Amino acid sequence: MRPEHVLTMEDWGREEIHELLDKAQDFANHPSKLPSQRIYAANLFFEPSTRTKISFEAAERNLGLDLLHFEADTSSVKKGETLYDTVKTLESIGADVVVIRHGKERYFDELRNHINIPIINGGDGCGHHPTQSFLDLLTIKQEFGMFDGINVVIAGDIFHSRVARSNLEVLERLGANVFVSGPKEWMSEELMERYVPMDEAVEFADVMMMLRIQHERHAVKMVAGPQKYHEQYGLNEEKAQRMKPTSIIMHPAPINRNVEIADALVECGRSRIFKQMKNGVFVRMAVLSHVLENQQGGLLR
């Protein structure tokens, strides 16, 4: 028997059409007939990502959520559809939560009051990236049990990274002493009040948070090329040896090896870089279950 394809409307008779519509209406009326009550997450990533995207996906799958696979490159965004209409569409189709990464800072301002499902910010340009902050916080809390009195040095291009500044703010709010380091050319007057040279920083820091040189975001004029940067402002083996025995190294990744940090340090005993990635899954599970419980009561299985 040939399969019955569904190709054109001409193939469908009047009665068959009504039968199909009744079937569809039946699905519309009794969603409980579905084999299981699924919860759908849609991850809308308009910028490249490995860690954030896949770790949201792992968090969603770990919680038993199902995914609707949105791909910006093959979506109607290509036909000029707005972000708002895209998110509204996903809401209409059945997404219960959306995760969005978008190059436009505060893209969410036009969405937050009109979208009726939770939006989780997976990064807005140089703006916010709350789940990255949460995973940094979890990694520090795991290590020291608290934030009070912990010396955190954030090293790199803090000025252009609101994520870094948001991290700085929240760490201080939680009780940590936060310092900054890196090329002075990249600091504001306000940041200079907490400035310490790398040579000193490594000796008293409990946490060295190295930032990524974001070549792709803004044309940072390298003070003197990657090698010179590494020597002056990066973390090399000599400097790492002068760190306190209990101190740790963090980096959000992707890493420019031998620029911000020496290749040999990425997986050294002090490094929590891959631990941060593991923690990324756990904080995203916490964030997802937080918003879904808030919104939908017993929805989570």
Give the residue numbers of the binding site for carbamoyl phosphate.
51-52, 101, 129, 132, 253-254
CA dist 165 and 129 (Å) reads 11
Asked if 83 interacts with a copy of itself (CB under 8 A), we say: no
Asked if 219 interacts with a copy of itself (CB under 8 A), we say: no
Asked if 218 interacts with a copy of itself (CB under 8 A), we say: no
The beta-carbon contacts of 108-115 under 8 Å, at least 24 apart in sequence, are 110/83, 110/84, 111/83, 111/84, 111/87, 114/84, 114/88, 115/87, 115/88, 115/91
First to last CA, the chain: 41
Size of the chain, expressed as the number of residues it contains? 301
Of the candidates 133, 107, 132, 131, the one whose C-alpha atom is nearest the C-alpha of residue 120 is 131
Question: Which of these ranges, 89-97, 188-196, 220-228, 239-247, lies near a copy of itself under the rule CB under 8 A?
Answer: 89-97
Asked if 10 interacts with a copy of itself (CB under 8 A), we say: yes
Asked if 88 interacts with a copy of itself (CB under 8 A), we say: yes
Interface pick for a copy of itself out of 41, 86, 234, 240 (rule CB under 8 A): 86
CA dist 275 and 224 (Å) reads 32
What is the nearest approach in angstroms of a copy of itself to the Cβ of residue 205? Answer: 21
The structure tokens listed for 177 are 């002493």
What is the nearest approach in angstroms of a copy of itself to the Cβ of residue 229? Answer: 15
Interface pick for a copy of itself out of 41, 102, 117, 178 (rule CB under 8 A): 117
Taking the least distance from each CB to a copy of itself, the nearer of 7 and 246 is 7
Please return the burial class of 30, using the count of CB atoms within 10 Å of its CB with bins 0-12, 13-18 and 19+: exposed
Asked if 197 interacts with a copy of itself (CB under 8 A), we say: no
Measured between alpha carbons, how far is residue 181 from residues 111, 157, 184, 191, 195 in Å? 36, 9, 8, 9, 6
What x/- string results for residues 14 through 53 when contact with a copy of itself is judged by CB under 8 A? x--x--xx-xxxxxx-----xxx-x-x-x--x--xxxx-x
What x/- string results for residues 249 through 268 when contact with a copy of itself is judged by CB under 8 A? ----xxxxx-----------
Asked if 226 interacts with a copy of itself (CB under 8 A), we say: no
Helix (H) or strand (E) holding 178: strand 177-181
Any residues with CB less than 8 A from the CB of 298 and at least 6 apart, and which?
Answer: none
Asked if 283 interacts with a copy of itself (CB under 8 A), we say: yes
Q: List binders of a copy of itself among 162-191 (CB under 8 A).
A: 166-167, 169-170, 173-174
What is the nearest approach in angstroms of a copy of itself to the Cβ of residue 197? Answer: 28
Asked if 112 interacts with a copy of itself (CB under 8 A), we say: yes
